[in-house]
Homo-oligomer: A and B are copies of this chain.
Amino acid sequence: MTNEIEMDLDTASPLERRIHEFYAALPPAERKLADLVLQFPGDLAAYSATELSELAGVSKAAVTRFFKRIGFASFDEARRQSREARDRGSPIYLATSAQSGTVGPVDPGTFFNDEIQALQRTLHKLDAAAVARVCTRIAGARRIVVIGHRNSYHLAGYLRGLLGQIRPNVLLFPGPGETPGDHLADLGAEDLVIVVAMRRRRAQISNIMKSVADLGVPIVLITDPTARGLPALAKETLVCETASGFLFDTYTPAHAVLRLLAVDLSRQLGQKGRTHLKAIERLHEQLNELEQ
């Protein structure tokens, strides 16, 4: 090859850049591949060269030639780089490298980016069907008790507030000065317990869940990926990412999931729930409590 020098300049540039660079000079079959890859941004790394060839309707050999033509040593190198480019933004990467350890003011843009990535990871792992099932349970339950300790207390309170706007008989546990059993003792199979248990849980939460489960009360668990034994005790589990490149876990994904539940539930209940919501708003207006 004549352009050896240009080659090593390329090593740092991302995949798409290279494609565009060579796009005009690409033969038909390889252009098909280029179009496919550009249309599939993100997880090239998840596909094999054989699959790409099938999706593009070209031969396997074309795939090999294509990636060599745009400057990679091999398809495997392209895959690896694509994957690493994706993971580089990951909070776990950041945690071990620059951001977490550095001193000095935090760049808000970097910080928000970190939050957004946590949201995306949560979405990626979120089971939409499970969300729907949880909503059905919430809609159908006679009473609902929301449980959350420590870090999860505010989340639990938030969820209670949301659900309380949509349907009656939603309780927060523990309320101020309550001891275990106050609300839990007389629960039954028609009721529902929602446990919010994000990282740094108390061991106690496991015991509570066990005794609740023994009563035959279904449990919905909202937790982070590090929960190990807990999901086995629950009927449904929704996992929210908490890992962040910065100090303190993030609970924005959990926040989003809780609101998603509320939004979905209100849709599911349709007019019935909406009237409840409207009723509350009208009440507030009448009491003149609202500023605007």
- With A140-B1, A288-B203 known to touch, is A229 a contact of B23 (CB < 8 Å)? yes
A273 closest partner in B (C-beta): B247
Other-chain residue from B20, B79, B249 in contact with A231 (beta carbon distance below 8 A): B20
Q: How far is the CA of A238 from the CA of B223 in the complex (A)?
A: 30
Contact of A137 among B1, B47, B243, B251 (CB under 8 A): B1
Binary CB contact string for chain A from 1 to 32 against chain B (1 if under 8 A, 0 otherwise): 10010010001101011001101100000000
The reply to whether B4 and A90 contact each other, CB–CB distance below 8 Å, is no
How many copies make up the complex?
2
- Provide 30 A-B residue pairs closer than 8 Å at the C-beta atoms, listed in order of the A residue: A17-B127, A20-B231, A39-B226, A41-B87, A43-B43, A43-B46, A43-B87, A43-B90, A45-B46, A46-B79, A89-B126, A103-B271, A106-B260, A111-B260, A112-B256, A115-B119, A115-B252, A119-B252, A154-B161, A176-B176, A200-B284, A200-B291, A203-B292, A206-B291, A247-B283, A247-B287, A250-B256, A251-B255, A252-B255, A255-B255
